Structure 1
Amino acid sequence: MSASRGSSARPSYADLRVGATWADAPCPVLVVDRHGGLVRINEAARGLLPGAASGDWLHERVPTWLAGAHQRISDGLRSTASGPLVGTIDNRLFEAYPTAGDDGDVVWWLVDDSGRRRAEAALADAQSRSEVLAEVSNALLSTLNVPRCMEVAASMAAEHLAEAAVLVAPPQGRRHPLTFALPGGPVTQVARQIDVSSVPGLAEALQGFPPVPARWINPDDIPDWIVPDGFAGPVGSVIVTPLPGHGVPAGALILLRSSTEQAFTENEEIFARLLASRAGAALSAARLYSEQAAITATLMRELLPPTLRSVHGVEYAGGYRAAREQVRVGGDFYDVHPGADPSQETFVALGDVAGKGLDAAVLTGKIRNTLHALLPLAEDHQQVLNLLNAALFTSHHTRFATLVLASVRRRGGRAHVRLTSAGHLPPLIVRNDGTVEEVPTHGTLVGAVPTVTARTVDAVLEPGETCLLYTDGITEARGGPLGDEFFGERRLRRALSECVGMPAEAIVERVQMLAAQWVGAGRQDDAAALAIRAPKAGPLALVNGHAGGRNSRRDT
C-alpha cells in the first residue's frame, strides 16, 4: 500500500471516536483517509462493494458522486454538517452521511433509502391518480348531456393517459357515435358505420367483457379509422377497455400511444380501467337522464293544458300555474273541445284533482282522456258526470276531483253557456256594467261517492261579457301582509269588476298575476283559470225570432 494512504494498522481518530460500532452497523460504513484511501470497511459495505478492501482507493470502488463528495470534504470545500448526499450504488438509492475526524479520516455511513423512496413515489403516484380520478368524476358528473359527457371522457383520457383517445358508444342503428381526442387539442365527434371486429378486443369491450391486455394487441392490426387526425407517428401501444354502465355497457375506450413513447405499463392499464369505470357510470347516468327527460317531455305535452283561441266566434283563454315549477304539471286542468261547426256546442271542462304533483297529474290525465272519449255525449252533462264518476270510482285511485262543465254556442252576438258544477267553485260572470255575478250551479264530487248529483244552469253572455271558471288555487292563495290570509272570492270579484271590456286573455293574466303577487315568495298551490267571452264585434242578431238580451237563466 502506498505511503500516502497510511498504514491500516494504526488506530485512526475514527476508531477512537466510533469504536467498534461502525464494524457492527447494519448499514455499509466506509472509513476513508484524507487522500481517498479506504482505511476500514465493515461487512455490510463488503456486501455492497464486492472485492473492496482496506488499502483500495475510494474512487475505484464507489460512484463518482461519493468519491467527489469525499474529495470536497478533504479539500475543505464542503462541511460534514451540510447534510447527507443522495446517489445510487448498484441501482439502489443511498443517503451518505459523513463524519470527519481530526486526523482527516472521514467515516461514511451509507443508508439504503430505496425502499422509502419507492414507497413515497408509489404514494405520490397513487395520490396523483386519485386526484385525476376525482377531477375526472367531477368533470363527468357536471353534465347530464350525453355528447358533452363523451367529449369530457375522451379529452381527459387523452390528457392523463395517452397521446390519443377514442370513445366508441353503443350503436344507434347501424352507426356508432365516435369521439376522438388529442391532448390539448380539439375533440371531434362523428357517427360512422364501423367494423368493430377489426379492432382486437373492441367487440368484447362493447359487450362488457374484461379487456384484452395491451401486450396482446398488435399495433399493426389497428385500422386507420381508429387513428385521429393529428396523431404523431405510427401506433406503438394500445389499450381497449370497456365502459361499464348500469346493467348495460356504456361503450368502449381506446387509448393510443405512438411508437416513440413508452408502451403502456400494467399499472397504467389498471388506471385506464378505473378511469373507464368512472366514465361509464357517468355516461350511463347521462343516457338514463336523457331517456327519462324525453319520456317526461312526451308525457308533459299530453298533460299540459292546451293553448286556447277563439272558436266559432267566442273567445277562450286559459292560464295554469303548477305548485311545483320543476314538475310543471299537477292536479288542475282545463280543456276546450270545439264543435264540428258553429251550430254545435263547444264543450269546456275545468277541474281540480285532490293533491299536487305527479300523482295528481296521473289522475288528471285519466279524467281528461275519459272526458275526451265521452264527447259524443257532451250535450248531457249529467250523463257525462255519471260515466266519469263510474270510471274513477272503480279504479285504484283513491283521489277525487271537482269539475265544472260548460257547453257554449254563439247565437247572434251573444254566447249561450250551459254550466254544471260537480263539487266545484261556481263560475263568475263579468257583466258590461262591472257587476260580477255568481252562477248558482252546484253538485257532488266526482270519484268520491257512487252517484253524482249536479245542477245545470243556463247563462247568456252579451257582447263583451265574460264567464270565468277557476280553481281554488286562485281564491285559496295564502299570502298578504302577514302571509297567512287567503286571496279570497271577495278580492277576486273586485279584480274582475275592474276587467270590464278586457279581452279574455288579459282577464286570465290579471287574475293569475294578482294571485301570484298575493302569495309572493310563499308556498303556492296548483291554480287554473279559463275565461269564456262573447266578443263585441258583430251586429245584434235575433234568437228564435226575438231580440236577444240578458235572458233569465234556466235550471235543468
Structure 2
Amino acid sequence: MGRVPVAPPRVVGSSGSPVDPRCVAAGPGAAWAHAPYPVLVADRDGRLVELNDAARQLWSDAVRGDKLRDTVPSWLAEAHGRFTDGTSGGAVRTAGAVADRFFEAHPTPTDEGDVVWWLVDDTDRRLAEAALAGTRRRTALLADVSSQLLSTLNLTRCLEATARMATDHLAEAAVLVAPPQGRRYPLTYAFRGGPVTRVTAPVEVRDLPGLAEALQGFPPVPARWIDPARLPGWSRPAGFREPVGSVIVAPLPGHGVSAGALVLLRSSSEQAFSDDELFARLFAARAGAALSAARLYTEQSSITATLMRELLPPRLESVHGVEYAGAYRPARDNEHIGGDFYDVHPGAGPAEESLVTLGDVAGKGLDAAVLTGKIRNTLHALLPLATDHVRMLTLLNKALLSSPHTRFATLVLASVRRRGGEVALRLTSAGHLPPLIVRADGTVEEAATRGSLIGALPRVTATTARVTLHPGETCLLYTDGVTEARGGPLGDELFGEHRLKRVLAECAGLPAEAVVERIQMLTAQWLGPGSHDDIATVAIGAPRVADRTVADGQGRARSTTHRRTP
C-alpha cells in the first residue's frame, strides 16, 4: 500500500516567492535550503541526506550519512521510523524539544523514497498557552480564596484559613502578623504538613525588612532585598526546619486600615519567589479584604453585644422577701430587643420600697429599643422621687417631649414593700393596661389605676391604687403583646383579657416564676407561627413561706429566672 503524502507547510524562498516542497527531490539547491525554519532529509534507512541552513544551526556537527538516532532527538528519529515502515498509516505529526526550543515536525516523502522533515518552531505558542493556563489557574485560585475567606466572618477562622491557604498554594511556610494589641502582635503560623498555631507575643517588626512598612499599608519591599539568612527567629513556624531560600513580606490591605502583613517562606530547594511575587501580592490583597471585613464584623458584634446588655431586660430575683419573675419575647424572633421593657430597682433595705417599672414604647425593633433605653435611664435617675409616682411620670413626660423622638410610651409603676408575711403595693398606670391581682382563692382582680400616655400630651394625669398581697398571691404586670396575641385555631383570634384572667385563676398559689412561665407558654402556643407584638410580663409575689433572710437583712434569698422565650 502506498503512502499518503502529507502536505508540508507553505515555504517561501529567498526571493519571497512560494516554493513547491516537491522541489526537494532535485536536491538541496535553492529550493528549501533557505527555508525560514529547519528542514532535514533522511532516507528510508534512517540516515541523514541533507540539512538546510536553519537545521545546521541546531545540529552543527551533523554530516551526510549520519544515523538519525545519533544526530537528532529520539522523538524525531522514532517518528521517522514509524513513517518509513508504514506503521503510522502515512500520517505522522510529532513534536518535541530541540535544545531550548520546541518544534512540530511534519514529514513529506520524495520521489526517491526519502523523507523531508519540516520543523516548525512552536515555542512561542506553547509559552503563550502555558502563560494563559497559568493565568486562568491563578484567577480560579484567587476566586476560591475570596470565596473561602469571605464565607466566614469569624476573625480567628479567617486568620487560620489565610495562613493555611498560603502554604497550600504559595509557600512552604507562612506567618500572618495582625495589627498590634498594645505592644504585642497576634501571630498566626502555618507550614506545609503541619498545624496552624496562633500566639500573641512582643516582636521587633523592624528586624524583618519591609514588615514595619507593610503593617502601615505601604507598598511591599521586593523579595530580592530580603536576606533569608538574617530572618528573626519569631518569623519561622516552630516546626519548620528547612533552610529558607526566599522570602516575601506582603501587606494585607484593609478597608482604609491595614489588616496586617503576610510573611511567606520558601526553602532553598524550592523555586524563588521572583515569578510569583505579583501573584503573592494579589493573594494578600484578597486575604486583606476578607480579614478587614471579619475584623469589622467582630468589632461591631462586640459593640452590639455591649449595647444589648444594657437594653435587654434584667434577670429578676427575690428581693427583701418578695418574689419577682419576668419574661420577654421580642416581636421579631431574629432580634433580641424591642419596645417592651421592665426593671426592678431594689430598695436600700427591707423597710424601703422597691420600684418595679414595666412599659411599652410605640413601635418595634431597634428604634423602639433605643427609646426604651432612654426611658429606663431617666427612671433610674428619678428613683429618689419614687414616693410620688405622678411626679416621676410628669418629669419623664417632659424629658420625652423635649427629645427628638416622636414615639410615645405606656408605663406602669409598682412600689413594693414587704410587711411581715404580706406585700404592700402602690400601682400607677400611665396609659398602660392595669395590673392583675391573683388571689389565693383563684379570684382575679384588676387594679383600680388609670392614666395618660407618656410623651404624647403636655400634662400627665394618673391615679394610684394601693393593693396588699397575702401569702401565695401574685400581682401581674404585662404588655398588650399578651392580650393582642393573634392566633388560635384559625390564626385570627386575639388571646384577650378574658382568656388571660382565666389562665391566671388557674395559677392561684403558684410562685411568681411559675405564673410567668405559664403565661409565656400558653401565649406562644396560641400564637403558633404567626406574627406578634413584643411580649413582656413581670410577676410580683408574696411567698407562702416567710423568708428567713428578711430578718437578718439579707436582700436576695431565692433566685428566680428571667426567661426570654425563643
TM-score by length of 1: 0.88
The alignment partner of 1:34 has SS state of coil
Aligned partner of 1:67: which letter?
A
State the alpha-carbon separation in 2 of the partners of residues 379 and 85 from structure 1: 103
The alignment partner of 1:246 has SS state of coil
2:227 is aligned with 1:235: no
* Shift of residue 415, structure 1, vs aligned partner: 1.7
Cα 1:26–1:455, aligned 2, differ >3 Å: closer, same or farther? farther
Identify the residue that residue 5 of structure 2 maps to in structure 1.
Answer: none
Identify the residue that residue 124 of structure 1 maps to in structure 2.
Answer: 133
Identify the residue that residue 159 of structure 1 maps to in structure 2.
Answer: 168
Out of 393, 397, 401, the position equivalent to 1:393 is 401
**Conserved 8 A contact 1:13-1:105:** no
State the alpha-carbon separation in 2 of the partners of residues 223 and 311 from structure 1: 60
Identify the residue that residue 179 of structure 1 maps to in structure 2.
Answer: 188
Cα 1:50–1:400, aligned 2, differ >3 Å: closer, same or farther? farther
**Conserved 8 A contact 2:250-2:281:** yes
Identify the residue that residue 423 of structure 2 maps to in structure 1.
Answer: 415
The alignment partner of 2:415 has SS state of strand
Aligned partner of 1:478: which letter?
R
Identify the residue that residue 203 of structure 2 maps to in structure 1.
Answer: 194
Matches within 5 A, 1:131-530: 131-266=140-275, 268-530=276-538
Identify the residue that residue 70 of structure 1 maps to in structure 2.
Answer: 80
* Shift of residue 378, structure 1, vs aligned partner: 0.5
**Conserved 8 A contact 1:12-1:103:** no
State the alpha-carbon separation in 1 of the partners of residues 352 and 239 from structure 2: 70
Matches within 5 A, 1:25-36: 28-36=38-46
State the alpha-carbon separation in 2 of the partners of residues 400 and 54 from structure 1: 107
User: Which moves more between the two structures, 64-73 or 87-96?
Assistant: 64-73
State the alpha-carbon separation in 2 of the partners of residues 12 and 346 from structure 1: 114
The alignment partner of 1:409 has SS state of strand
State the alpha-carbon separation in 2 of the partners of residues 383 and 240 from structure 1: 67
State the alpha-carbon separation in 2 of the partners of residues 22 and 443 from structure 1: 112
* Higher RCO (Cα < 8 Å, 6 or more apart): 2
State the alpha-carbon separation in 1 of the partners of residues 540 and 58 from structure 2: 102
Equivalent residue pairs, number = 524
Report the aligned-residue RMSD.
Answer: 2.7
* Shift of residue 418, structure 1, vs aligned partner: 1.2
State the alpha-carbon separation in 2 of the partners of residues 53 and 386 from structure 1: 116
String of CA shifts for 1:265-314, please: whole Å, max 9, x gaps.
23x11111111112211221221122111111111111111111222222
2:105 is aligned with 1:88: no
Aligned partner of 1:261: which letter?
E
**Conserved 8 A contact 2:25-2:111:** no
Aligned partner of 1:319: which letter?
A
Cα 1:13–1:209, aligned 2, differ >3 Å: closer, same or farther? closer
Matches within 5 A, 1:12-51: 15=25, 28-37=38-47
The alignment partner of 1:265 has SS state of helix
User: Which moves more between the two structures, 116-125 or 298-307?
Assistant: 116-125
Aligned partner of 2:196: which letter?
V
* Shift of residue 143, structure 1, vs aligned partner: 2.6
String of CA shifts for 1:115-147, please: whole Å, max 9, x gaps.
332222122212222232233223322332322
The alignment partner of 2:476 has SS state of strand
* Shift of residue 371, structure 1, vs aligned partner: 0.3
**Conserved 8 A contact 1:232-1:258:** no
**Conserved 8 A contact 1:12-1:105:** no
Aligned partner of 2:382: which letter?
L
**Conserved 8 A contact 1:428-1:439:** yes
User: Which moves more between the two structures, 342-351 or 381-390?
Assistant: 342-351
Aligned partner of 1:372: which letter?
H
Out of 112, 118, 131, the position equivalent to 2:121 is 112
Cα 1:371–1:420, aligned 2, differ >3 Å: closer, same or farther? same
* Shift of residue 14, structure 1, vs aligned partner: 7.2
The alignment partner of 2:273 has SS state of coil
String of CA shifts for 1:139-191, please: whole Å, max 9, x gaps.
32233232222111111111211111111111112111111111121112111
User: Which moves more between the two structures, 141-150 or 36-45?
Assistant: 36-45
Cα 1:115–1:483, aligned 2, differ >3 Å: closer, same or farther? farther
The alignment partner of 1:352 has SS state of strand
Identify the residue that residue 545 of structure 1 maps to in structure 2.
Answer: none
**Conserved 8 A contact 1:13-1:102:** no
**Conserved 8 A contact 2:25-2:110:** no
State the alpha-carbon separation in 2 of the partners of residues 161 and 509 from structure 1: 58
**Conserved 8 A contact 2:438-2:508:** yes
Cα 1:351–1:67, aligned 2, differ >3 Å: closer, same or farther? same
The alignment partner of 1:511 has SS state of helix
* Shift of residue 319, structure 1, vs aligned partner: 0.5
Unaligned runs of 5+ in 2: 1-20, 548-566
State the alpha-carbon separation in 1 of the partners of residues 392 and 220 from structure 2: 64
**Conserved 8 A contact 2:486-2:527:** yes
Cα 1:481–1:22, aligned 2, differ >3 Å: closer, same or farther? farther
User: Which moves more between the two structures, 239-248 or 319-328?
Assistant: 319-328
**Conserved 8 A contact 1:476-1:486:** yes
**Conserved 8 A contact 1:30-1:107:** yes
Aligned partner of 1:435: which letter?
T
Cα 1:77–1:497, aligned 2, differ >3 Å: closer, same or farther? same
**Conserved 8 A contact 2:249-2:264:** yes
String of CA shifts for 1:43-99, please: whole Å, max 9, x gaps.
876777779898887567643321332134334454443x42120134221222334
User: Which moves more between the two structures, 83-92 or 495-504?
Assistant: 83-92
* Shift of residue 203, structure 1, vs aligned partner: 0.8
**Conserved 8 A contact 2:415-2:426:** yes
Cα 1:25–1:487, aligned 2, differ >3 Å: closer, same or farther? farther
State the alpha-carbon separation in 1 of the partners of residues 239 and 469 from structure 2: 75
**Conserved 8 A contact 1:14-1:106:** no
Aligned partner of 1:376: which letter?
P
State the alpha-carbon separation in 1 of the partners of residues 93 and 364 from structure 2: 75
